[in-house]
Amino acid sequence: MKALVLEAPEQLRCKEIPIPAPKGDELLIRVRACGVCGTDLHMYHGDKGAFANAFPLVMGHEFSGEVAALGPDASKFQVGDHVAVDPNLYCGKCPACLRGDVHFCEHMTGIGTTRDGGFAEYCVVSERAAYRIPDEVPFEYAAMMEPLSCCLHGIDRSGIHPGDTVAIIGFGAIGQMMFQLAQLSGAARVVVVEPVAPKRKKAEEMGAFLTCDPQREDVSEKLQALHFHSVIECVGRKDTMELAVQIAGSCATVMLFGLTAPGTKLELLAYESIFQKELTITGSFINPLVSQRVVDLLSSGRLDLGKIIAVRLPLAEGVRAFTEKGLSADGKIVIGDFPAAH
């Protein structure tokens, strides 16, 4: 089969490797679509991601496809079923798992991060990692289950209530997912802070109450009349995280969702910015036990993922997603040999 194999930092190529065979309760998935994540880019460049990885590695942890074969102990699926994959497998036995914090499992396995993933024609996964998707949901949308589940966990931690005013900093693919989830959570007004004009235009088309260009406008001054109950930072930079704290209203929740480089330090005014405003500052780590909720959202049709997916590449051209600058400027890149959704 064809696969994108990361052999060392910045050494990625499409090559032929053996098709894996499912064992035990595993499924062989014919991958139809696999999204490119910021974590994939971190690993490509040799930076630290959520989990440590080894080489060679087939990356890709946001994927969907069809069940092509069953291991001898698999019993929940049939050949031909459409599935999306939750790539993070916890042990269920360590102290973190036993207290319910499965995303802090001490023995976590990550499909596409610690073992071969979905940038290939086929991938083997445990059947507990697979979620059945209705046939009418396009594969490229189903592949978004993993990033959507991460975003949904972040939304759960953002403290949004019906009628709230919410700010989203950064309007890439993650910011666009957060935007829709904030609306579904009942936010009355969602404001987007984004320096790229086409992304601000997209935010306006999607119903943003207001957009702001942080490179040309004083964000704090422009937004001072608004009381933000929740601020969601989706960039992962020191300055944008500090801005999130700065514009948050009293008793607000600041969700620092963007992935920063390890060792990043923030400069905050503890008295003025946190104590006096009684802020809650929180983070969000991967996607504990929310995948079925995302499947239900996908099935409901209440998410418009067509606005988020910007580039579709066949597997044979997948290396371009990592080497061609600006390719993901307008949204999500999806790799796969699949018909585009309409």
| Catalytic sites, residue numbers | 39, 42
Exposed/middle/buried for residue 65 (C-beta within 10 Å: 0-12, 13-18, 19+): buried
Return the C-alpha torsion angle 319, 179, 168, 162, nearest 10.
-160
Max intra-chain CA distance, the chain: 63
d(Cα 7, Cα 54) in Å, to the nearest integer? 9
Q: Residue 89: helix, strand or coil by DSSP?
A: strand
- Residues in CB range of 41: below 8 A, 6 or more apart: 322
- Burial string for 194-218 (b: 16+ CB within 10 Å, else e) reads bbeeebbebbeebebbbbbebeeee
φ, ψ (nearest 5 deg) of residue 237: -120, 150
Q: What letter does residue 229 receive in the DSSP assignment?
A: S
Those residues with Cβ within 8 angstroms of residue 296's Cβ, 6 or more apart along the chain or in another chain: none
